[in-house]
Copies of this chain bind each other. A is one copy, B any other.
Amino acid sequence: MKRHLLFAAFVLFSALGYANISLYSPDKQLNLTFKVSEDGEPVYALSYKNKPVIKESKMGFHIQWSTPLAHDFTIVDATQNSVDHTWETVWGENRFIRNHYNELVVKLKQKETNRILLITFRLFNDGLGFRYDFPMQDNLLHFIIQEEITQFNLTGDHTAFWLPGDYDTNEYPTTISKLSEINQLIDKVREEPLAAKSFTPNLAIQTPLLLKSDNGLYINIHEAALVNFAAMQLNVDDLNFQLSAHLVPDFRGNKVYAQTGDRSPWRTIIVSDDARDILASNLILNLNEPCKIEDFSWIKPMKYIGVWWEYFTGGGSSWSYTKHQGIRIGETDYSKLTPSGKHGATTENVKYHIDFAAKHGFDAVLVEGWNEGWEDNVAFVKDEIYNFTKPYPDFDVKKLRQYASEKGIVLIMHHETTSAVISYERQLDTAFRFMVTHGYPAVKTGYVGPIIPRSEHHDGQWMVNHYNRVIEKAAEYKIMVNSHESVRPTGLCRTYPNWLAAESARGTEFESFRGNHPNHTTILPFTRLVGGPMDYTPGIFEGDLSIYGSNPAKLSSTLVKQLALYVIMYSPLQMAADLPVNYEKHPDAFQFIKDVAVDWDTTCILEAEPGDFITIARKARGKDEWFIGSITDEHARETVISFSFLKPGKQYELTLYADGDNAHWQDNPKSYSVKNMKITSKTKLKQKIAAGGGMSARIR
């Protein structure tokens, strides 16, 4: 791993008391100030190009049965460092990432209690990260955080791209409104039917939150390295445009069970006046710990198909083997039950998918509904629903392993838990051992519905620890993980690159329920994907689900936009989600999905405006081959692409996948053209994109 390391540490201050401390980003565009107020409250502020981004904002914590760690502080020490080095990714949007920041570490002492709190600020050219450390000390040991005080005082009534505050789901559509409009919109948004919802009692929204100020500043607020802490949502004070940390509680109202030696995640603020910088930012990855997996040779980006979409189309295929509900796992002999005849994960059907995957050069096949228990898959009252080592009678694990292996395909295991999480933890070791025994290198986990333990929410500390525990345990077994309905990522895929992807937002599956807005995928890269790869599962060619039965759902995208998503929605794990039969009808368009890379050397954000459009070019890792994706919202537009990112003087062949002239996501989504052309780094391409449409290209 190539590293350029520059490390300069210098102590600036001592016994500063109430001094104002100032820190600049390496390029001097960002300025952080820190002080303690007259009441001894820690206060920070952030400006960009001499304009305030975050006005003076308080920091600290409320602690159960104790003095708040929030006032009465003096600064007893302050240290500044500069760091500049470059690290290599195991996989990613870029092979090398520069980690370049100036750091300020402030040591605070509370006068009456003598308790110590450290705050570390890291100021990058693209934003700020800060975190709290609770060092070991005599006057504090175990404690319960009742609330984090951290404020984000904004300068005005910015436009927000928001999800309503909710402890159990991040699958709402994004609403775009002024901060002052959230209050009047939120009740309606919360009507969205989702499997588990737990509204915040007050006005709050979720992170990653994108804001756009009236003067064109883009601000992303999120967190990095969420470990042993509750996820942070944001209270909204819509009179003062003040956001503040709202940690996800357990059912007792406690936020974090902590002890000294613990630290908070990083609170992150990415800032730019160019929207493309938000997408290009590596701030969150940089704030995470380096890879903890020594031998990561077994971690491989993958393209996969699955026995999956057929459960959503309305065609009648089912996860469960029988129609008997109320089965007791471990006490029931499934081979004696009558099959429903609708079961999807049969040996035959999986073989058919293996054949298709092998024929078209995929790496893997995901199979959902292979194991005992699916009959009660929405029985949220059950402690024990699934057996993760017992396949249904019509799913032959050994035979399929053999068959897949002969065809060069691996199978992806599925562990839906229906959020009966303790049951999953009990079985985790045996389940992973079962995977190793049967040659499964990857697992998709799922957390539909309310959590058991019933004191917990999807985004609370206990579940955060669970997701991380699964990742660490999976690493021990050399298993890659794709988690669904988990807490939204915070860059931990740097530390655990076996965490290939997460869903953790409204994915393609919703196209079969209530649909996604055409602007949905022009927002997600600014919000959800800031924390890490998303298993969005693109590639639906047949968007009219009424052909399968009575499902009236229609895809909110043209066919070509589906192709472009393989470039736009970055993930080292990409699914071709549609049924094989639909790909066979469009072999020329399907060719793009077959060709597109899933791991990259370089990424260039060419155009971007949240909610409107995004154009990205990426160079395949280790190849002189580029792929371009461009998408728009419900409005048609023209993209203008300059190929200046290519090597000068060299001629490339470009295969262009474009919406047809009359293509439209609503009426005419499947109109497209494929054509080849020669280009150089000096070529400019103007290309019309249909309403709800896209463009994609392969360049060799």
Which residue numbers of A lie inside 8 Å of B, CB to CB? 136, 141-144, 250-252, 254, 257-261, 325-326, 328, 376, 379, 381-383, 422, 425-426, 428-429, 453-456, 462, 465
Copies in the complex: 2
What's the nearest-Cβ distance from chain B to residue A456, in Å?
Answer: 7
Closest B residue by C-beta to A250: B454
What's the nearest-Cβ distance from chain B to residue A328, in Å?
Answer: 7
Whether B454 contacts A142 by the Cβ 8 Å rule is no
Name the contact of A429 in the complex, choosing from B381, B383, B422, B429 (C-beta under 8 A). Answer: B429
Whether A259 contacts B379 by the Cβ 8 Å rule is yes
What's the nearest-Cβ distance from chain B to residue A462, in Å?
Answer: 7
Q: Give the 4 A-B CB pairs with smallest separation, nearest first.
A: A453-B453, A455-B455, A454-B455, A257-B381
Whether A454 contacts B325 by the Cβ 8 Å rule is no
What's the nearest-Cβ distance from chain B to residue A689, in Å?
Answer: 48
What's the nearest-Cβ distance from chain B to residue A86, in Å?
Answer: 30
Asked, given contacts A453-B455, A453-B456, whether A462 binds B142 with beta carbons under 8 Å apart, the answer is: no
Whether A455 contacts B251 by the Cβ 8 Å rule is yes
Whether B136 contacts A326 by the Cβ 8 Å rule is yes
Which residues of chain B come closer than 8 Å to A453, judged between CB atoms?
422, 453-456, 462
Closest B residue by C-beta to A64: B381
Whether B383 contacts A454 by the Cβ 8 Å rule is no
Asked, given contacts A422-B453, A426-B426, whether A142 binds B328 with beta carbons under 8 Å apart, the answer is: no
Jot down 15 A-B pairs with beta carbons below 8 A, ordered by A.
A136-B326, A141-B325, A142-B326, A142-B381, A251-B251, A257-B382, A259-B379, A259-B381, A260-B326, A425-B426, A426-B426, A426-B428, A453-B453, A454-B455, A454-B456
Closest B residue by C-beta to A425: B426
Whether A326 contacts B454 by the Cβ 8 Å rule is no
How far apart sit A142 and B260, CA to CA, in the bound complex (Å)? 43
Which residues of chain B come closer than 8 Å to A454, judged between CB atoms?
250-252, 254, 453, 455-456, 462
Which residues of chain B come closer than 8 Å to A376, judged between CB atoms?
142
Interface hub of A144, A251, A258, A376 (most chain B Cβ within 10 A) = A251
What's the nearest-Cβ distance from chain B to residue A349, in Å?
Answer: 28
How far apart sit A325 and B462, CA to CA, in the bound complex (Å)? 22
Which residues of chain B come closer than 8 Å to A142, judged between CB atoms?
325-326, 376, 379, 381-382
Asked, given contacts A453-B453, A454-B455, whether A144 binds B381 with beta carbons under 8 Å apart, the answer is: yes
How far apart sit A573 and B333, CA to CA, in the bound complex (Å)? 38
Asked, given contacts A143-B381, A383-B462, A425-B422, whether A259 binds B456 with beta carbons under 8 Å apart, the answer is: no
How far apart sit A215 and B503, CA to CA, in the bound complex (Å)? 70
Which residues of chain B come closer than 8 Å to A325, judged between CB atoms?
141-142
Whether B259 contacts A326 by the Cβ 8 Å rule is yes
How far apart sit A359 and B260, CA to CA, in the bound complex (Å)? 47
Closest B residue by C-beta to A455: B455
What's the nearest-Cβ distance from chain B to residue A196, in Å?
Answer: 13
How far apart sit A141 and B325, CA to CA, in the bound complex (Å)? 8
How far apart sit A382 and B141, CA to CA, in the bound complex (Å)? 11
What's the nearest-Cβ distance from chain B to residue A58, in Å?
Answer: 25
Interface hub of A250, A252, A259, A425 (most chain B Cβ within 10 A) = A259
What's the nearest-Cβ distance from chain B to residue A482, in Å?
Answer: 23
How far apart sit A428 and B426, CA to CA, in the bound complex (Å)? 9
Which residues of chain B come closer than 8 Å to A251, judged between CB atoms?
251-252, 454-455
Which residues of chain B come closer than 8 Å to A141, judged between CB atoms?
325-326, 379
How far apart sit A1 and B142, CA to CA, in the bound complex (Å)? 55
How far apart sit A252 and B453, CA to CA, in the bound complex (Å)? 11
How far apart sit A160 and B38, CA to CA, in the bound complex (Å)? 61
